[in-house]
Amino acid sequence: MANTDIKSDPIDDINSIAARETTRDVCAALECEERGDLLTAIDEVHPADIADILEQLSAEERKQFVELAGEDLPTDVLAELEEGVRDDVIAALDDSFLAEVVCDLDSDDAVYLLEDLDDARKQEVLDAIPIVDRIAIQRSLDYPEYSAGRMMQRELVAAPAFWTVGETIDMMRARDDLPEDFYEIIVVDPNHRPIGTIGLARIMGAKRPATLDGLMNRDFRSFDAVQPQEEVAYGFNQYHLVSAPVVDESGRLAGVITIDDAMQALDEETEEDLMRLGGVGDEDLSDTVMEIAKQRLPWLAVNLITAILASLIIAQFDVVIEQIVALAVLMTIVASMGGNAGTQTLTVAVRALATKDLTPTNAWRIIYREGMVGFINGLIFAVVMGAATWWWYGDGSLGVVLGLAMIVNMIVAALAGILVPISLDKIGADPALASAVFVTTVTDVVGFFAFLGLAAVILL
C-alpha cells in the first residue's frame, strides 16, 4: 500500500530553521545592545523576513531595533510591515531619515508610510522631500483611503502611439528613473489618456521600425482612481492582469497598479472578511490589550442581547421543561446544529458576494440549493438523533420531536445563511460584519422555539 503520510518540503524546513535562528540572533543583539551583531544578523535577509521579525517583537523591542539599526535599516522593510507595526517603527524614526526613506521607495509604498501620520508630522516629512516627489505623493494622498489612487504607483512608462519600437527602447535606455519593476508600456493619446498597452515581451520581439499603434492591445482594463481596492483586486483576479493603468476624473493617466499590490489588496480583503465573520474587526497581533478589548466589546454586547432573546424564548416553555427534564438536555443540540449549518452557508455566501459570483441572476437558484441542502442534512440528522433519543430515553415521541425540530432548524439555518448576507449587501451594509450575529440569532430562536413548541404540542 502506498505511503500516504504528508511529508514537509526540506527547503521549507531549512527556511524555517534559518528564520528562527535569525530571530534568536536579533533578540540576542537587542538584549546586549550590540549594533554590529544586529546588522550582521539581518545582513542579506529579505526585507519581508525582517518585517516578520519586527512583527514578532514587542513595541519596546521594535523601538530598540530601529534605534540600533539607525540609517542602516533597509528602507524596503518599512513597506512590508503591517499597519500597527509600521506605526510603531515610524514613530521611532526621525523626520529627516523618514524623508530619505520615502524618497527611496516607489510612490505607492511612500504613500503607505505617510498616510496614517498626523497632519503636522506628515507635512514636515513632505517638506523635506524634493518638490516633484512631494507633488506626486500629495496627489495620491488626496484620493480616498483603500482606493486605486492610494494603491497606484506613479513611476510608469508611457509613449504615444506613433512612436516606433526603436524610439521606445531608446527612450527607456536613456531614462534613469525607470520603475524598478514594470511589465507593460502604456500607450497614450495627445491628452495623455491611455488607449492601449503593450507587454515588454512583445516590444522586445518586434522590429525597430514597427509602430506602437500596430502592436498595442486595445482591449485593456483600466481603473478609476477613486475605485475601491476590492474592485481593483477583483478585476486583477478576474481578468488575469499583471498591471493596469489608473485614470483620474478627466480620464488622464494618473498611475499604474501592478499585480503585487493587487494581490496584497486581495489578501487584505479576504483577511478582513474572515476577521469580521468572527466579529473581531481589524485587529492584529501587535495591538494592545485595551485596543483588542475595545474592538471586540461591541459585538460581544450584541451577542449578549441575542442570547437574552433566545433565553426569553426558553422562558416561555418553562412549564414544559419542568415536566420533561430531557428537553433541557436535548434542546442545545438543535440550536448548535442549526448554528453550524448557518455558519457553513454564511461563509460560502459572503465569499461569493465578495468575488461577485453570487448575483441577482443566480440568487434564487442558490437560495433553493441551500434550502434543499439544509433539508437533506436535517433529515439525515433527524433520523440519527431521533433514533438515539428513542434508545436513550425509551420515548419514541421525544425522538420524533427532536427529529422534526432538527429538520426545521437546519432548513431555516441554511436559508438564513444565504438570505441575511444578500439582504445586507442589497441595503449597502457589509455582509461580513453583521451577518453572523443575525444568523446566530435566527438559528437559536427558531431552534428553541421549534423544539420546545413541538414538545408542548406532541408530548403534553
Q: Please tell me whether residues 29 and 117 are part of one structural domain.
A: yes
Are both 53 and 89 inside the same structural domain?
yes
Whether residue 391 is found in the same domain as residue 322: yes
pLDDT band at 309; cut points 50, 70, 90: confident
Q: What is the pLDDT of residues 204-237, one digit of tens each?
A: 999 999 999 999 999 999 999 999 998 998 899 8
* Whether pLDDT at 10 is above 50: no
Which cell is 262 given? Answer: 493587487
Q: What is the pLDDT of residues 87-96, one digit of tens each?
A: 888 888 888 8
Q: Do residues 361 and 305 both lie within one domain?
A: yes
**DSSP secondary-structure letter at 144?**
P
Sheet holding 184-188, edge to edge: 158-160, 184-188, 194-199
220 & 252 share domain: yes
- Same domain as 196, residue 340: no
| Per-residue pLDDT, 185 | 94
Last residue of a domain, one of 210, 242, 258: 258
**CA 439/CA 419 separation, integer angstroms:** 9
Q: Which amino acid is at 204?
A: M
Residues 6+ apart with CB under 8 A from 265: 151, 229, 230, 232, 233
Instruction: Quote the pLDDT of residue 14.
Output: 42
- Among the candidates 87, 113, 146, a domain finishes at 146
Residues 51 and 187 in one domain: no
The reply to whether 266 falls in a domain is no
Q: How confident is the model at residue 152 (pLDDT cuts 50, 70, 90)?
A: very high
- pLDDT above 60 (res 138): yes
Q: What is the pLDDT of residues 402-411, one digit of tens each?
A: 999 999 999 9
pLDDT band at 21 (very low <50, low <70, confident <90, very high): confident
pLDDT confidence band for 376 (50 / 70 / 90):
very high
> 437 is in which domain, residue-wise?
289-458
The answer on 230 and 117 residing in a single domain is no
385 has pLDDT over 50: yes
Q: pLDDT band at 245, cuts 50/70/90? A: very high
Half-sphere exposure of 59 (CA within 13 A, CB side): 10
Contacts of 405 (CB under 8 A, 6+ apart): 334, 447, 450, 451, 454
Please say if the pLDDT value at position 79 is more than 80: yes
Domain's final residue, options 87, 120, 146: 146
Span 101-127, mean pLDDT? Answer: 85
188-210: pLDDT as tens digits: 999 999 999 999 999 999 999 99
pLDDT score of 282: 63
pLDDT value at residue 158: 95
Number of domains in the chain: 3
Distance CA 333, CA 452 (A): 12
Question: pLDDT at position 281, please?
Answer: 60
Buried-exposed string 238-263: b where 16+ CB fall within 10 A, e elsewhere: eeebebbbbbbeeeebbbbbbbebbe
Residue 167 predicted with pLDDT over 90: yes
**Structure-model confidence comparison of residues 344 and 285, the more confident one:** 344
Q: What is the pLDDT of residue 17?
A: 60
Q: Specify whether the backbone of 3 is left (phi greater than 0), alpha (psi in -120 to 50) or beta.
A: beta
Which pLDDT belongs to residue 13?
46
Whether residue 56 is predicted with pLDDT greater than 90 in this model: the reply is no
Q: What is the pLDDT of residue 243?
A: 93
CA angle 284, 288, 291 (to 5 degrees): 80
In a domain, 283, yes or no: no
Say yes or no to pLDDT of 18 above 90: no
Rounded Cα gap, residues 437 and 350, in angstroms: 14
Cell of 2: 502506498
Low-confidence winner among 264-273, 312-321, 333-342, 369-378 (lowest mean pLDDT) = 264-273
